[in-house]
Amino acid sequence: MGIRIPEPLAPLVEQGIIDEVVRPLMAGKEAQVYLVIAEGMPRVAKVYKQVEHRSFKHRVAYTEGRKVRNTRKARAMAKKSRYGRSEIEQAWRFAEVDALRQLWAAGVRVPEQFDFVDGVLVMELVHDGNWEPAPRLADVEFSPDEAHDLFQHLVHEVSRMLCAGVVHGDLSDFNVLIGHDGPVIIDFPQWVDPASNQNARRLLLRDVDNLTSFLARHAPNLKRTRYAEEMWSLYEQNQLTPQTRLTGRFKRSTRQADTSSLLAEIEAIEREERARREALGLPPPRPARRPVNTDRPAPRPVSEKRPGKGSPPRASRPEEPRDEPKKKRRRRRSRKKSGKATDAQSAPDPFADLDALLSGDD
């Protein structure tokens, strides 16, 4: 005998995904969580609150860099149009499911997920051994040794999550459950992708910091550890693996390493700018330093690569067959050169004016 069925769970009960709703567990800031029976087992159903109830702006920051398969969607999301708004809402709901799937596959201890229907996630009940919901880290007392071991364990889970491409982003003593078989990290809707989100390092540091300051209450010497910096630095250098034994020690990288990571960052920004302009139908950004003389190669007109709206569709340049005899290939190339192909040296820059106009200097 359960409670009256809450409206968001009704479709799942109708479809037989949930047998019975036992009781509400918690109403957090983002979600309402219910204890249910599904497939004859006690499980948890998490219902995400509607967008109006939550801070929208906050969420956009987290969604940055998350892969959106459909480019129209991506553009709408970027513009935060009405359509974009609902897409972000969807992405937010899917985000937790995506992270759980990715982490579960990577062997990180997160709740097993069973169903995701109508914005409701049905997952494993993390329990205390008697099928009662497990306490949160915040609700448990530890000896210094226990706190120490638990910290080691959690920090290595965070590192393995990083390897799997997930930074939690809201990790704290409220989002770790102490299950009968060990700690389980929960609550992932705000996770970020460390490969593409600019805030990932900052969020990782904050996540580990939260765990550190909570457990340092029981084991004060944890305060001196630098696990987040250590794992991020290894991650950046492509040296972090799920097996990496972290030490908690971290020395600031040398100046040279800083320079190379800075250069990599600049390159990434330039790549992004190029992609952004391409998406807007603008010519590629011009080089940072402009040569004084005119014999720089003219940028290829954009329409040659990608027909714009007005221009007639153009057959894409056929790939040169690999197994074609060398001679033939050479002939083909020279034909192109002597034909209508423009000589790079003398060609006027077709975008010089537009370029200047857009950048506002000259």
Ligand X SMILES: Nc1ncnc2c1ncn2[C@@H]1O[C@H](COP(=O)(O)OP(=O)(O)O)[C@@H](O)[C@H]1O
- Contacts with ligand X, residue ranges (CB under 6 A): 25-26, 28-31, 33, 44, 46, 111, 123-126, 133-134, 136, 174-175, 177, 186-187
Pick from ligand X, Mg ion, none: which does 160 bind, CB < 5 to 8 A by kind? none
DSSP line for 306-345: S--SSSPP-PPPPPPPTTS-HHHHHHHHHHHHHTTPPPTT
The residue ranges of DSSP E strands in 180-304, in sequence order, are: 182-185
Give the range of 26-34, 235-243, 265-273, 336-344 binding Mg ion by CB under 5 A. 26-34
Pick from ligand X, Mg ion, none: which does 9 bind, CB < 5 to 8 A by kind? none
Q: Smaller CB distance to Mg ion: residue 175 or 212?
A: 175
CB of 245 to ligand X, least distance (A): 29
Q: Smaller CB distance to Mg ion: residue 76 or 158?
A: 158
Q: Smaller CB distance to ligand X: residue 176 or 234?
A: 176
Q: Smaller CB distance to Mg ion: residue 13 or 31?
A: 31
CB of 264 to ligand X, least distance (A): 35
Structure tokens at 85: 């708004």
CB of 48 to ligand X, least distance (A): 8
Burial 125-140 (b: 16+ CB within 10 A, else e): bbbeeeeebbebbeeb
**98, 187, 229, 230: which one contacts Mg ion (CB under 5 A)?**
187
- Whether the CB-CB separation of 154 and 176 falls below 8 Å is answered with yes
Distance of CA 104 to the CA centre of its chain: 16
Q: CA dihedral defined by 129, 130, 136, 138, rounded to 10 degrees?
A: -90
Other beta carbons less than 10 A from residue 185's beta carbon: 24
Q: List the one residue out of 1, 56, 47 whose CA is nearest residue 24.
A: 47
- Rounded CA gap, 48 and 58, in Å? 16
Pick from ligand X, Mg ion, none: which does 33 bind, CB < 5 to 8 A by kind? ligand X
CB of 187 to Mg ion, least distance (A): 4
- Is residue 175 part of the contact set for Mg ion (CB under 5 A)? yes
- Residue in the block written with tokens 């003398």: 346
Instruction: Mention every residue, 6+ apart, whose C-beta is less than 8 A from residue 226.
Output: 248, 249, 250
CB of 224 to ligand X, least distance (A): 29
Binding-site size, Mg ion (CB under 5 A): 3
Q: Smaller CB distance to Mg ion: residue 28 or 281?
A: 28
Q: Which positions touch Mg ion (CB under 5 A)?
A: 28, 175, 187
